[in-house]
Structure 1
């Protein structure tokens, strides 16, 4: 599929074997809830896009996100050292997205934020199916990390769902892939290949609800001889289809709806996640937290991304169950008004 939006102004919906070449949101026939056709200003204001790259290993955890929210460009990056409990984290908010650029091609292009001597950059290379994260901070922190979906072969989760009365959300997820590269920081210098690190990647965009919330979970690592990745969500992508899935050695296995059981007031207490179809039953123990709170009236966010370890079981149909024993990953609790 070359473009997500068809000639009649309507999106393609469903699960896709491959990513669309372009998320051509400007061609969307965007209407008000009462059916009035909306113009270029409304299309710009309501379209939101974000990309996330996560690093997962027993020695180092990291995350970096970039978001285009029309009225602001937002980015964050953090590194967590489990052995010492030490953490580096930075946040950036740029009015109207000045200092940022965002490609609408999920597998090809650059998303970047620059603020002073700080740069967060995510590169997607279509020809090689490689993803790369480059972070340069004014305190000397440097991250250069990447992975490939081609070697060994990996099947990403590519999905577009209707959202509310007049929107849609495209999501493309990857987890359970080997990560290579280098990290230099006050936490130490790390070779990601030597750490046997894994990566998670999320590319999402669309016309999301103006006020929304979601929970999310992701893990990556090895379970016995298998490479395992997991992506679960409750909220946003649930109309007609879900984004819930896990991967075994790069093979995508879909999962039904998932219930997240946790204490919103005490997010560092254990979380539990179970799927309606019985394929997923997991418990999560927190080890650290990155959080942001913002309330500007027209925009607001209450965001918690927690990193820690998962235990439990995956039960793929017609295959032996997979025991998850203290694999590292993330959970998230997000409220946003935009």
Structure 2
């Protein structure tokens, strides 16, 4: 599919075998809930986009996100060192997205934020099917990490769902892939291939609900000699289709709806995550937390990303179950007004 929005102004919906070439949101026939056609200003204000790159290993856990919220460009990066329990965090907010750049090509483009001598950059390299994260901060922290989707048979989860009465959300997820590169920081210097790091990636854009909430779970690693990745969510991308899935040695396996059972006021307490079809039964024990809270009136966010260990089972239909035994990963609880 070359473009997500069709000639009649309506999006393609469904789960796709591959990503659209362009998220041409400006061609969307955007209307009010009562059917009035909306102009370019409303399209700019209501369109939001974000991208996330995560790292997982026993020695180092990290995450970097960039978001275009129309009224602001935001980004964060953090590193957590499990052996010592030490953590580094930086956050950036730029009014009207000044100093940011966002491509609408999920598999071939650059998204970046530059603030003074600080750079957060996410590259999607079409020719090589690589995803690259480059972070250079004024305190000396540097991350140069990448992974490839070029292995035969690997398929990312790509889907577009109706959102509320007049919107849509395109999401593209990857997990369970090996990561290479280097990290230099006050926590130490790390060769990501040498510490057997895995990566996960999220590229999302669309006309989302003005107020929304979601839970998310992701893990990547090795289980019973197999590469395993997991992507589960509840609260977004669940209209007609869901993004829930896991990967076994790069093979995408679809999952039904899921339930997250946890205490919102105590996110470091254990979580239980189970799918309606019985394929997923996991328990999560927290080890650390990255949190951002802001309330600017028209923009607000309460974001909790918790990293820790998963235990439980995956039960692919007609196959032996896969035991998940203390694999590192993430859960998330987020409320957004935008």
Q: What TM-score do you get using the length of structure 2 for normalisation? A: 0.99
CA distance in 2, matches of 1:203, 1:274: 24
1:242-261 correspondence runs (5 A): 242-261=242-261
What is the match of residue 101 of structure 1? 101
CA distance in 2, matches of 1:3, 1:212: 26
CA distance in 2, matches of 1:104, 1:265: 36
Q: CA deviation at 1:318?
A: 1.1
What is the match of residue 150 of structure 1? 150
Query: Does 2:317 correspond to 1:308?
Result: no
- RMSD across aligned C-alpha pairs, in angstroms? 0.6
CA distance in 2, matches of 1:90, 1:287: 19
Write out per-residue CA displacement over residues 103-133 of structure 1, whole angstroms, 9 at most, x where no aligned residue.
0000000000000110000000111110000
Write out per-residue CA displacement over residues 266-323 of structure 1, whole angstroms, 9 at most, x where no aligned residue.
0000000000000000000000000000000000000000000000000000111000
What is the match of residue 319 of structure 1? 319
CA distance in 1, matches of 2:183, 2:152: 23
Q: CA deviation at 1:152?
A: 5.5
Write out per-residue CA displacement over residues 214-256 of structure 1, whole angstroms, 9 at most, x where no aligned residue.
0000000001111000000001100000000000000000000
The 4+ residue runs of structure 1 with deviation greater than 2 A are none
Q: Which runs of 5+ in 1 are unaligned?
A: none
1:180-219 correspondence runs (5 A): 180-219=180-219
Residues 234 and 40 from structure 1, CA distance in 2 versus in 1: closer, same or farther, beyond 3 angstroms? same
Q: CA deviation at 1:151?
A: 3.1
CA distance in 2, matches of 1:316, 1:185: 40
CA distance in 1, matches of 2:146, 2:290: 22
CA distance in 2, matches of 1:185, 1:301: 28
What is the match of residue 238 of structure 2? 238
Residues 147 and 57 from structure 1, CA distance in 2 versus in 1: closer, same or farther, beyond 3 angstroms? same
CA distance in 1, matches of 2:138, 2:284: 34
Write out per-residue CA displacement over residues 44-103 of structure 1, whole angstroms, 9 at most, x where no aligned residue.
000000000000000000000000000000000000000000000000000000000000
Write out per-residue CA displacement over residues 19-51 of structure 1, whole angstroms, 9 at most, x where no aligned residue.
000000000000000000000000000000000
What is the match of residue 45 of structure 2? 45
CA distance in 2, matches of 1:131, 1:193: 15
Q: How many residues align?
A: 338
1:271-286 correspondence runs (5 A): 271-286=271-286
Q: Which runs of 5+ in 2 are unaligned?
A: none
Query: Does 2:95 correspond to 1:92?
Result: no
1:66-85 correspondence runs (5 A): 66-85=66-85
SS of aligned partner of 2:38: coil
What is the match of residue 59 of structure 1? 59
CA distance in 1, matches of 2:203, 2:258: 21
1:25-36 correspondence runs (5 A): 25-36=25-36
Q: What TM-score do you get using the length of structure 1 for normalisation? A: 0.99
